[in-house]
Structure 1
Amino acid sequence: MRNFLTILSFFIGFCSLAQPDTDIYVMDLRRSTEGLLVEKHSNISENEGYDNQPSFWTDGESIIYARTVNGQTDIARYYFDSGNTLIISETKQGSEYSPTPMPDGRISSIRLDTSGLQLLYGYTFDGRNEVLVPDLKIGYHAWINSNEIVAFVLGDPATLQIINVKTNEARIVGSNIGRSLHKIPGASSFSYVDKSTTPWTIKSMDPLTGESQKLTAVLEGSEDYCWTPKEEILMASGNELFVWKKGSEWEKFANLSKLGITSITRLSVSPDGKKLAIAAE
């Protein structure tokens, strides 16, 4: 059996000797005259251990996430129509984190081996895999086009890099950043959290020029966020959900304390903007 605590000590996203016991919740996201509403909440993982980092599939009919299976973390896919969960990866020598839809129909995911090796892999749905970036220790990533990712690359210091996975060319475009990286809907730019200022700020960056622009300060104590198709940012603080859009301030639109939720971290919105997934304790 793998030494799970040893695995955790290597992974950038976790600083303690135990990961939080989190689950994936999915809910309807509806717009009303009063603003955003969340309805019909469902715990789709219902699993002991670390179930986290949800990401909707491109058709919106399923969701992929990192799921604890027999003391390790594998890629899982949940289907909304059937309620079934399929385990994609069953890697014997390592665990997968941050599964993300790839432009070519595969899944990209960080794999952390028991040896400490940490690389970005591409996975097919039958479990076949290959290394995508062989020379960099990537903690988090997002696809900005069919060939390039923006990545949080571990090092001293950790850096923000744009990497072409076809040529393995990489450009350092920043440092002192957060883990939440996203392509901005309807734009060629991406967003990231700049931790070099107080408070931390969410910024956009043009991948061609490297020019950045401040969007908004993060909610105090939070760094995870996601975009809606309407170019809004959703973020959580404790068990409350907030929305921001250009020209406005953060506005609270939901409190999930009735579900027994105390802390929300990762968030993901479906491509049609009608569902919200969160990882929460």
Structure 2
Amino acid sequence: MRKLLFAIITLFSYSFSQAQPNTEIYVMDLRRSSEGLLIEKPLNISKNEGYDNQPSFWSDGESVLYARTINGQTDIARYYFDSKNTLIISNTKQGSEYSPTPTPDGRISSIRLDTSGLQLLYAYRFNGKNEVLVPKLKIGYHAWVDDARIVAFVLGDPATMQIINTKTGETVIVGENIGRSLHKIPDSKDFSYVDKTAENWTIMRMSPVIREAAEITNTVGSGEDYCWTPKGEILMADGAKLFVWSNDSEWKQFADLSKQGITSITRLAVSPDGKKLAVAAE
């Protein structure tokens, strides 16, 4: 049933042009105790009507990027923790940006969907200037593997997982039927993704060189979004509840954000120092 349901909603889920949920970005302190992970001081940093989503921490951990709805379109926003100010980086009249991600060379990679229907991966500088990173391929989601390569969810019939060299243009198809959550694994050259080929979805790892998949663990609940902590743990959500997995233990609940009025958590990101957690939530 779950696999059938996924097939049905896939027709709508991977087109950014469809109506988006009214989500907010929350950032909270992530602390460790003798009993495990704890969260403290959850704060809504977007406080904005519309689709505010896809948080990603800057490399110094002092700010977080996210996609923010402004005047009916979605632009790249950067929130600074010290000043509590938000900088709008893009203002693309003919389209919207999604999934802003720090690049290894200090820019921001983001998927841009133009009003014409053209959807490509761009690189943005903080002065607003941009250039296409990957021409021709319609990328839905991506993560940086190293200084040149990304792993990407590429839309098509079927949709595929591809490793793409942004400098040479070389592309290699390495999988199908995957989820949208792609990540480089901390202290590793491998990346991770969600395999949806079976009834029970599985988080997998793969080397961009050997390209052989290995199972890490099953997903928790009905979600597909997850993130890594610097210590090599995986965080996921089920509704308003947060769970952690590590090599030493199975999934364990460590927080419940329902008291903050949150009903559904989707995207998650942990700061490079492991001290902050950002989530997109309704």
Please state whether the residue corresponding to 2:249 is helix, strand or coil.
Answer: coil
User: Is 1:254 aligned to 2:255, yes or no?
Assistant: yes
Q: Is the 8 A contact 1:56 1:64 kept in 2?
A: yes
Tell me the amino acid that sits aligned with residue 126 of structure 2.
F
Shift of residue 246 of structure 1? Answer: 1.3
Q: Would you say the 8 A contact 1:76–1:85 is kept in 2?
A: yes
Q: Deviations over 1:85-114 (max 9, x none)?
A: 000000010000000000000000000000
Give the Cα–Cα distance (whole angstroms) in 1 for the partners of residues 29 and 261 of structure 2.
Answer: 18
TM-score for both structures, normalised by structure 1: 0.95
* SS of equivalent residue, structure 1 residue 250: strand
SS of equivalent to 2:214: strand
RMSD between superposed Cα atoms in Å: 1.5
SS, match of residue 179 in structure 1? coil
Contact in 1 for aligned 2:67/2:100 (Cα 8 Å): yes
What residue in structure 2 maps to residue 172 of structure 1? 173
Map of 1:181 onto structure 2:
182
Match for residue 146 of structure 2? Answer: 145
Number of the residue aligned with 2:123: 122
Partner of 1:5: none
CA displacement at 1:135 relative to structure 2: 1.6
State the 1:58 CA deviation: 0.1
Write the mapping of 1:75-86 to structure 2, written as runs, cut at 5 A: 75-86=76-87
| Per-residue deviation, 1:17 | 4.5
1:1-281 alignment runs, 5 A limit: 12-13=13-14, 17-281=18-282
Please give the per-residue CA displacement for 1:44-98, whole angstroms capped at 9, x wherever unaligned.
0000000000000000000000000011000000000000000000001000000
Q: Is the 8 A contact 2:154 2:160 kept in 1?
A: yes
Given residue 99 of structure 1, which amino acid in structure 2 is its aligned partner? P
Separation (CA, whole Å) in 2 of partners of 1:121 and 1:127: 11
CA distance in 2, matches of 1:275, 1:92: 33
State TM-score, norm by structure 2: 0.95
Q: Distance in 2 between matches of 1:233 and 1:214?
A: 13
User: Offset of 1:248 from its aligned partner?
Assistant: 1.9
Secondary structure of residue in 1 paired with 2:250: coil
Structure 2 CA distance for partners of 1:17 and 1:118, relative to 1, 3 Å = closer
Residue segments in structure 2 that go unaligned for 5+ positions in a row:
1-10
Deviation at residue 220 of structure 1 after TM alignment? 2.5
Partners of 1:250 and 1:267 lie apart in 2 by 16
Letter in 1 for 2:265: I
2-side partners of 1:59 and 1:11: how far apart?
Answer: 35
CA distance in 1, matches of 2:15, 2:164: 24
Deviation at 1:16, TM superposition (A): 9.0
SS at match of 1:174: strand
Q: 1:74 corresponds to which letter in structure 2?
A: D
- The answer to which of 96-105 and 211-220 deviates more is 211-220
Whether contact under 8 Å (2:16, 2:113) holds in the other structure is no
Judge conservation of contact 1:12–1:139 (CA < 8 Å) in 2: no
- Mark the runs of 5 or more structure 1 residues left unpaired by the alignment: 1-9
Deviations 1:240-274 (A, max 9, x none): 00000114210000000110000000000000000
Question: 2:27 is paired with a residue of what secondary structure?
Answer: strand
Amino acid at match of 1:222: G
Give 3-state SS (helix, strand or coil) of 1:36's partner.
Answer: strand
Determine helix, strand or coil for the equivalent of 1:249: strand
| C-alpha deviation, 1:24, in angstroms | 0.2
Distance 2:115 2:41 in 1: 39
